């Protein structure tokens, strides 16, 4: 059984089956768009456009110049809410996580957090995300908090509401508590939500 290391929203080990995926095309310059602050449509083409807009809202027209890489973003056909940053430039967001998000602001936080893992070179330190042993939990949470800190700056710079981030993290914690009550994931997600709130309160 293949075991995948989950760096971002889920901090647990999970059996992983082969998944289909939708790759998001990032055009340059990006299309004109407004932040969708209400409900996200569940149609994959709409989500794709939202993701494209979000990445360009963070990085401008020249993603390579801003990030040092052009993100490759895919939505995986996985019902469990999760997202990954995989070296060198790949971001995977599960369909399950898209379903839990309630606005483009929240989806933007998901993308910002994974971009932050790349920007902080966490994905370089642990390039073999699949089949890799988990780092120490303390180090993991240090990375998660650091990525959330960078994500909040990306959200602010991109015109998104950072206060939706702790709301999403708490909702995800509740979701995980329902479906995986024995896992440590809800506690980790709530610790992240508290950390994000403290960063927002002290800036
Ligand atoms: Zn993370």
Tens of pLDDT, residue by residue over 174-184, are 999 999 988 88
Distance (angstroms) between ligand 1 centre and the Cα of 181 equals 20
Considering the entire predicted model, what is its pTM?
0.82
Cis amide linkage into residue 49, ω under 30° from 0: no
pLDDT in tens, 79-138: 999 999 998 899 999 999 999 999 999 999 999 999 999 999 988 777 554 444 556 677
User: pLDDT tens, 59-96?
Assistant: 999 999 999 999 999 999 999 999 999 988 999 999 99
Distance of CA 6 from the midpoint of ligand 1 (Å): 8
d(CA 132, CA 122): 13
Q: How far is ligand 1, taken at its centre, from the CA of residue 27, in Å?
A: 26
- Where in the sequence is the domain holding 32, given as residue range(s)? 3-202
d(CA 7, CA 117): 9
Output the CA 106–ligand 1 centroid distance in Å. 15
Half-sphere exposure of 27 (CA within 13 A, CB side): 7
State how far the Cα of 71 lies from the Cα of 68, in Å rounded to an integer: 9
Write the DSSP symbol of residue 68.
S
- The token duo for 87 is 């070296």
Q: β-strand 72-76 against 90-94: which pairing, if any?
A: parallel
Give the distance (Å) from ligand 1 centre to CA of residue 127.
14
Give the number of C-alpha atoms closer than 13 A to the C-alpha of residue 145, restricted to the C-beta side: 16
CA–centroid distance, 150 to ligand 1, in Å, is 11
The CA 35 to ligand 1 mean position distance, Å, reads 24
Q: In what order do the strands lie in the sheet with 90-94?
A: 21-24, 72-76, 90-94, 83-86
**Tally of domains within the chain:** 1
Q: How far apart are CA 45 and CA 98, in angstroms?
A: 13
pLDDT of residue 32: 56
Q: How far is the CA of 197 from the centre of ligand 1 (A)?
A: 17
Dist. CA 77 → ligand 1 center (Å): 20
Burial of 164 (0-12, 13-18, 19+ CB in 10 A): buried
pLDDT band at 49 (very low <50, low <70, confident <90, very high): confident
Q: What gap in Å lies between CA 161 and CA 195, rounded to an integer? A: 16
């Amino acid at each position: 059984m293949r075991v995948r290391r989950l760096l971002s929203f889920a901090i647990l080990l999970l059996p992983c089956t082969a998944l289909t995926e939708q790759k998001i095309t990032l055009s340059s310059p990006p299309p004109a768009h407004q932040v969708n602050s209400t409900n996200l449509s569940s149609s994959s083409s709409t989500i794709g456009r939202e993701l494209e807009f979000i990445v360009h809202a963070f990085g401008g027209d020249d993603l390579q110049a801003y990030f040092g890489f052009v993100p490759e973003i895919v939505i995986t056909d996985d019902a469990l809410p999760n997202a990954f940053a995989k070296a060198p430039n790949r971001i995977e967001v599960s369909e399950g996580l898209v379903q839990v998000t309630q606005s483009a602001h929240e989806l933007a936080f998901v993308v910002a957090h994974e971009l932050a893992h790349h920007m902080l070179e966490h994905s370089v330190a642990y390039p073999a995300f699949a089949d890799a042993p988990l780092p120490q939990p303390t180090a993991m949470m240090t990375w998660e908090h650091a990525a959330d800190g960078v994500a909040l700056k990306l959200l602010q710079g991109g015109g998104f509401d950072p206060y939706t981030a702790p709301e999403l993290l708490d909702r995800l914690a509740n979701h995980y508590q329902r479906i995986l009550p024995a896992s440590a994931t809800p506690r980790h997600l709530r610790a992240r939500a508290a950390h994000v709130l403290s960063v927002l309160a002290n800036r």
